[in-house]
Amino acid sequence: MGRRMRLTPAPLYIFLLICTCGYAFIPGVDGPVSNVETLEGGNVTLFCDSTPDSADDEFMILVWYKNNMPIYSFEIPNKQWSEPSFNTSSRLQADISSQPTAVTISSLSEEDQAMYHCRVDFRLSPTRNVGINVTVVVLPSPPFFMDEMSNKVTGRVGPYHDGDTLVLRCLVIGGRPPPRISWYSGDTMVDASDGDSEIPAVRENELYLPLTRDNAAALTCRAQNTVLAPPVVATLEVELYLPAYNVSIHWVRGTVGDALRAGSPALAHCTARGSYPQPELSWWLDRKHLTHHSNQSWFNSSLTAISFLELNPAVVDNGATLACVATNPVMAPNRGSNADVITLNVTYSPMVDIMKLGDGKLNDVVELDPLQLKCDIKANPPLERIRWYFNDIEIRPGGIWGDDTASEKLLVEEATRAHAGRYSCAAENAMGETRSDTIVITIFYPPECTGHGIRLVKETLHCYVKALPVPDTFFWHLQPSGFEVQHLTTGSPILPLDQITGPLGDALRASCEANNDVASQEEACDRTFTFEHLRPQQPQQCDIAYEFGEFQMRCVPVENATYYEVSVWRMSESNASLVLERRASMGFGGARAAGARGRGRGGAGPCAPCGVGARAARGRGGGARLQPLRLLAPAADPPVGYTAASC
Ligand SMILES: *[C@@H]1O[C@H](CO)[C@@H](O)[C@H](O)[C@H]1NC(C)=O
Ligand SMILES: *[C@@H]1O[C@H](CO)[C@@H](O)[C@H](O)[C@H]1NC(C)=O
Ligand SMILES: *[C@@H]1O[C@H](CO)[C@@H](O)[C@H](O)[C@H]1NC(C)=O
Ligand SMILES: *[C@@H]1O[C@H](CO)[C@@H](O)[C@H](O)[C@H]1NC(C)=O
Ligand SMILES: *[C@@H]1O[C@H](CO)[C@@H](O)[C@H](O)[C@H]1NC(C)=O
Ligand SMILES: *[C@@H]1O[C@H](CO)[C@@H](O)[C@H](O)[C@H]1NC(C)=O
Ligand SMILES: *[C@@H]1O[C@H](CO)[C@@H](O)[C@H](O)[C@H]1NC(C)=O
Ligand SMILES: *[C@@H]1O[C@H](CO)[C@@H](O)[C@H](O)[C@H]1NC(C)=O
Ligand SMILES: *[C@@H]1O[C@H](CO)[C@@H](O)[C@H](O)[C@H]1NC(C)=O
């Protein structure tokens, strides 16, 4: 067949063309070929230059072929033809006026994929052929998912735990050319191993993905067979149980820096991120679960849980740990929990306690012993200053105080009575100053005489001493003149004179020493008393009788006499001394004016050698001279203060 046809009149030429159906364009031989890829449903514009090669030549006719079948022609003068299936008012548009001429085919379908070529004939020049290989890309249908059991999965899979392997097939029907199928996590491709499925015209990619927090979100399957259009994508939501990965406590208000203030409420919030599903946030203060004054909110888009805690810190909470624990309720506690722990810094003005150190009872110190006081202080932030107060006046260094009057201990090496009084201390830190309670320090000292030491008050001796504590024992040494020293002990400073044996006629040497358990008295109190001026008169006008084995004595009372005493003396049988047989007080018989009457029983019978003395004593007194009742040896020495007569 003569493919390079000679120029013929146009009408005839068309006829020839239409009839030469067997004529075939040979790419590369008959003319150049270009490739065009286009999408199904889109359009394609085919270009063909119909300009003659030389100015003296002339365009005759242009024909487009699809797979060698004519579909459109244009010839001079303006005469167009198009194949009915493409007709110019529906899918085919031609622009012949500009160069290169263009023919656009729209609403492309799979059937439009073909080798197109244009043929241009000129009056003089040889025929021109240009081929265009049009590929119509058919996009695949959207991917869908199937699990291991070949069940269709839509939208959401799970729940899974962290680390579980997700096994899932992504399937894609159709597409020309066959699409590539890949799995993506976000923008990262995680699996591109696709292949043909057992089902014809279906391709698939089976995913084996160990799930992590990072790859489980935004898992997609993409199918792509052209660069002309974005991949066809299906999204899968993976429900993955996750523990919170970041739990942190922050102070919202009520703090200065990160420090709390005892007694003033503070607000903390705890943020737990990354947990699915919503975690339970719990607050713990030193392992104690705080169940009040907190609330929780959940922001599902960012997997963030927030809990607020109102805390009213106390001094004891300083150094305590505050923990916020995020627990995922669907996970095992050891896998699903995460916590933040902070140490509380609770500031407060100092807490101050004063105390005495060392031996001795509570707040007592023995004179010349050391006095040691301690100011027990708890403070946060640390102390800045300590002050001591004595009787509410601040203690300054020097004087009866040492040089160190500003530390936690106040030390007096040798306490004196001047150190007795009220003590307190005060401590100051950045939060304020606190004053302790007051303690009263008592200085104990041994007894010592005061004033006259011993005084005589009425019928009693008083021992005047100063001492702390008050003495509980008094040792008396008493010596009536001419007598032995008598030692007496009393529990009080008073000694009734009648406890002293012997007459107190002339003088009495007395000394007392007190004891108060601190120490015994260094120097006893001494005094000598004379009773001359106090001596009452002798009993007056006494007469004595002996009847029925009894002595009877009567005297007229004398001024200042408070009692009378009857003594019965007997003559010693072996020598000439008087022996005191018995002594008794003598009552006042009847009216005082009637006199005093005493009775005594003679031990040895009526004729025993004996005598009776009376004593009118205001403690000390003179003896009464009595009539002899029985014969007394003239040589007998009558006892002091008594006069005896023979009977
Ligand atoms: C061909 O497609 C392009 C872009 O897709 C569009 O702008 C143009 O109008 C279309 N032409 C016809 C003739 O449909
Ligand atoms: C071209 O197509 C349009 C619409 O598809 C139709 O109305 C018209 O008759 C067709 N013309 C020819 C010549 O077939
Ligand atoms: C036309 O393009 C297709 C791909 O779309 C290709 O397979 C074919 O070989 C091409 N034909 C020619 C002649 O280049
Ligand atoms: C946890 O969150 C805090 C602030 O919210 C941040 O400073 C810290 O870096 C995070 N830690 C981790 C491990 O993500
Ligand atoms: C506690 O807070 C106070 C005041 O901000 C500060 O002086 C002190 O150093 C803090 N203590 C600790 C242990 O952080
Ligand atoms: C939680 O408590 C804090 C303080 O107590 C408050 O500011 C916040 O509005 C509360 N939030 C909710 C969700 O109740
Ligand atoms: C968050 O919760 C709301 C209401 O419960 C729901 O409409 C929304 O889809 C959820 N968002 C996410 C990311 O789960
Ligand atoms: C009696 O005692 C008083 C004082 O105690 C004294 O003044 C008076 O002289 C005494 N009388 C006699 C008689 O001794
Ligand atoms: C006299 O005799 C008495 C006993 O009758 C005796 O107790 C006393 O010691 C004697 N005195 C002298 C000086 O011997």
Q: How many domains does the chain have?
A: 6
Q: What kind and span of H or E run contains 129?
A: strand 128-137
84 lines ligand 5 (CB under 6 A): no
**Last residue within a domain, chosen from 508, 531, 554:** 531
**Range 49-77 average pLDDT:** 92
Angle at 487 between CA 484 and CA 493, to 5 degrees: 135
> Considering the domain boundaries, does residue 185 fall inside one?
yes
Ligand 8 binding residues, C-beta < 6 A: 536-537, 559-560
Over the stretch 208-261, which tens digit does the pLDDT of each residue have?
Answer: 999 998 888 878 999 999 999 999 999 988 999 999 999 999 999 999 988 999
Tell me the CA distances in angstroms from 565 to 132, 600, 613, one per residue in order: 168, 11, 8
**Range 287-296 average pLDDT:** 90
* Beta strand residue intervals within 162-254, DSSP E: 165-173, 180-185, 188-191, 194-196, 202-210, 219-224, 232-241, 246-253
Range of the domain at 356: 349-437
**Range 604-619 average pLDDT:** 44
**Rounded to an integer, what distance in angstroms lies between the CA atom of residue 106 and that of residue 449?**
137
Please tell me the number of the ligand nearest to residue 569's CA.
9
**Rounded to an integer, what distance in angstroms lies between the CA atom of residue 322 and that of residue 563?**
89
165 lines ligand 7 (CB under 6 A): no
188 lines ligand 6 (CB under 6 A): no
262 lines ligand 5 (CB under 6 A): no
- Stated length of the chain: 647
Above 90 in pLDDT, residue 373?
yes
> Considering the domain boundaries, does residue 46 fall inside one?
yes
- CB-based burial, 286-304: b 16+ in 10 Å, e otherwise: eeeebeeebeeebeeeebb
Instruction: Looking at the CA of residue 247, tell me the nearest atom of ligand 4.
Output: 1
Structure confidence at residue 564 (pLDDT): 63
**Rounded to an integer, what distance in angstroms lies between the CA atom of residue 496 and that of residue 514?**
16
Distance 94 CA to ligand 1 centre (A): 13
Give nearest CA residue, ligand 4 atom 8. 246
**Range 625-633 average pLDDT:** 39
Over the stretch 389-442, which tens digit does the pLDDT of each residue have?
Answer: 999 999 999 889 988 899 999 999 999 999 999 999 999 999 999 999 999 999
Both tokens assigned to 248: 């942190």
Residues 301 and 209 grouped into a single domain: no
Q: Which stretches within 158-305 are classed as H helix?
A: 213-216
Instruction: Looking at the CA of residue 33, tell me the nearest atom of ligand 3.
Output: 14
Please tell me the number of the ligand nearest to residue 278's CA.
7
Distance 303 CA to ligand 4 centre (A): 14
> Considering the domain boundaries, does residue 3 fall inside one?
no
Please tell me the number of the ligand nearest to residue 258's CA.
5
How many CB atoms neighbour CB 400 within 10 A?
12
Structure confidence at residue 413 (pLDDT): 92
Distance 609 CA to ligand 8 centre (A): 36
> Considering the domain boundaries, does residue 641 fall inside one?
no
Distance 95 CA to ligand 6 centre (A): 71
Question: Tokens 């060392």 label which residue?
Answer: 358
**Range 332-359 average pLDDT:** 91
Q: From 37, 40, 43, 137, give the residue whose CB has the most ligand 1 atoms within 8 Å, as the site to mutate.
A: 43
Above 90 in pLDDT, residue 18?
no
**Rounded to an integer, what distance in angstroms lies between the CA atom of residue 69 and that of residue 23?**
9
Task: Tell me which residue of 183, 241, 184, 188 sits closest to 212, measured CA to CA.
Answer: 241
Given pLDDT bands bounded at 50, 70 and 90, which one contains residue 38? very high
Concatenated DSSP letters of 32-58: -EEEEEEETTS-EEEEE----SSTT--
Distance 105 CA to ligand 3 centre (A): 19
**Range 574-601 average pLDDT:** 55
Give nearest CA residue, ligand 1 atom 3. 43
Residues 553 and 515 grouped into a single domain: no
**Rounded to an integer, what distance in angstroms lies between the CA atom of residue 21 and that of residue 4?**
15
Residues 221 and 148 grouped into a single domain: yes
**Range 494-499 average pLDDT:** 88
Given pLDDT bands bounded at 50, 70 and 90, which one contains residue 52? very high
Q: What is the pTM of this model?
A: 0.59
Both tokens assigned to 36: 């065009």
> Considering the domain boundaries, does residue 640 fall inside one?
no
Structure confidence at residue 557 (pLDDT): 67
**DSSP for residue 118:** E
Q: What is the mean pLDDT of the chain?
A: 83
**Range 117-140 average pLDDT:** 94
Cβ–Cβ under 8 Å, residues 249 and 219: no
Structure confidence at residue 607 (pLDDT): 33
Distance 561 CA to ligand 8 centre (A): 10
**Last residue within a domain, chosen from 418, 437, 456:** 437
Question: Tokens 């997700």 label which residue?
Answer: 166
540 lines ligand 3 (CB under 6 A): no
Task: Tell me which residue of 191, 313, 217, 211 sits closest to 258, measured CA to CA.
Answer: 313
Structure confidence at residue 563 (pLDDT): 59
310 lines ligand 6 (CB under 6 A): yes
Proportion of the chain in helix, strand, coil states, percent, rounded to 5: 5, 55, 40
Instruction: Looking at the CA of residue 310, tell me the nearest atom of ligand 6.
Output: 5
297 lines ligand 6 (CB under 6 A): yes
Of residues 309 and 640, the one with the higher pLDDT is: 309
The answer for residues whose C-beta is within 8 angstroms of residue 424's C-beta and 6 or more apart is 354, 388, 389, 392, 435, 436, 437, 438, 439
Ligand 2 binding residues, C-beta < 6 A: 84, 87, 89-90
The answer for residues whose C-beta is within 8 angstroms of residue 600's C-beta and 6 or more apart is 550, 551, 553, 566, 568, 582, 584, 612
Please tell me the number of the ligand nearest to residue 313's CA.
5
Of residues 155 and 230, the one with the higher pLDDT is: 230
Distance 259 CA to ligand 5 centre (A): 6
Report the chain's C-alpha Rg in angstroms: 68
Q: What kind and span of H or E run contains 451?
A: strand 439-457
Phi-psi label, residue 63: left if phi above 0, alpha if psi -120 to 50, beta otherwise: beta
Residues 157 and 179 grouped into a single domain: yes
Residues 319 and 380 grouped into a single domain: no
**Rounded to an integer, what distance in angstroms lies between the CA atom of residue 178 and that of residue 191?**
18
Of residues 598 and 368, the one with the higher pLDDT is: 368
Structure confidence at residue 269 (pLDDT): 94
**Rounded to an integer, what distance in angstroms lies between the CA atom of residue 274 and that of residue 326?**
11
CATH of the domain at 568: 2.60.40
Task: Tell me which residue of 443, 446, 405 sits closest to 422, measured CA to CA.
Answer: 443
Distance 43 CA to ligand 1 centre (A): 6
254 lines ligand 6 (CB under 6 A): no
Residues 97 and 174 grouped into a single domain: no
**Range 150-167 average pLDDT:** 90
**Rounded to an integer, what distance in angstroms lies between the CA atom of residue 82 and that of residue 70?**
8
Q: From 213, 214, 245, 246, give the residue whose CB has the most ligand 4 atoms within 8 Å, as the site to mutate.
A: 246
Over the stretch 515-531, which tens digit does the pLDDT of each residue have?
Answer: 988 878 888 999 988 87
Q: Is 497 exposed, middle or buried (0-12, 13-18, 19+ CB in 10 A)?
A: buried
DSSP, collapsed to helix, strand or coil, labels residue 24 as coil
Least confident of 42-46, 422-426, 542-546, 588-592: 588-592
308 lines ligand 6 (CB under 6 A): yes
Sign of CA dihedral 320, 324, 328, 329: positive
Residues 527 and 539 grouped into a single domain: no
Distance 133 CA to ligand 3 centre (A): 6
Please tell me the number of the ligand nearest to residue 217's CA.
7
Structure confidence at residue 561 (pLDDT): 61
Instruction: Looking at the CA of residue 319, tell me the nearest atom of ligand 5.
Output: 13
Give nearest CA residue, ligand 1 atom 5. 42
300 lines ligand 7 (CB under 6 A): yes
Distance 583 CA to ligand 9 centre (A): 19
Distance 285 CA to ligand 4 centre (A): 22
Distance 292 CA to ligand 5 centre (A): 27
Given pLDDT bands bounded at 50, 70 and 90, which one contains residue 643? very low
> Considering the domain boundaries, does residue 288 fall inside one?
yes
Q: What kind and span of H or E run contains 335?
A: helix 333-336
**Last residue within a domain, chosen from 207, 241, 275:** 241
**Rounded to an integer, what distance in angstroms lies between the CA atom of residue 593 and that of residue 557?**
7
135 lines ligand 3 (CB under 6 A): yes
Least confident of 163-172, 215-224, 578-587: 578-587
Both tokens assigned to 234: 């299906």
Structure confidence at residue 573 (pLDDT): 73
Above 80 in pLDDT, residue 20?
no
> Considering the domain boundaries, does residue 4 fall inside one?
no
Instruction: Looking at the CA of residue 246, tell me the nearest atom of ligand 4.
Output: 1
Strand-strand pairing, 232-241 and 260-261: unpaired
Angle at 529 between CA 523 and CA 533, to 5 degrees: 165
Residues 411 and 454 grouped into a single domain: no
Give nearest CA residue, ligand 3 atom 4. 135
Distance 559 CA to ligand 8 centre (A): 7
Over the stretch 24-36, which tens digit does the pLDDT of each residue have?
Answer: 888 888 899 999 9
Distance 320 CA to ligand 4 centre (A): 23
CA 266 to chain centroid:
13
Tell me the CA distances in angstroms from 259 to 270, 283, 525, 552, one per residue in order: 17, 19, 67, 101
- φ, ψ of residue 222 in degrees (nearest 5): -120, 135
Instruction: Looking at the CA of residue 300, tell me the nearest atom of ligand 7.
Output: 1
Residues 17 and 129 grouped into a single domain: yes
Residues 221 and 256 grouped into a single domain: no
Distance 102 CA to ligand 2 centre (A): 20
Residues 473 and 407 grouped into a single domain: no
Residues 383 and 475 grouped into a single domain: no
Give nearest CA residue, ligand 9 atom 14. 575
**Range 469-485 average pLDDT:** 89
CATH of the domain at 14: 2.60.40.10
> Considering the domain boundaries, does residue 379 fall inside one?
yes
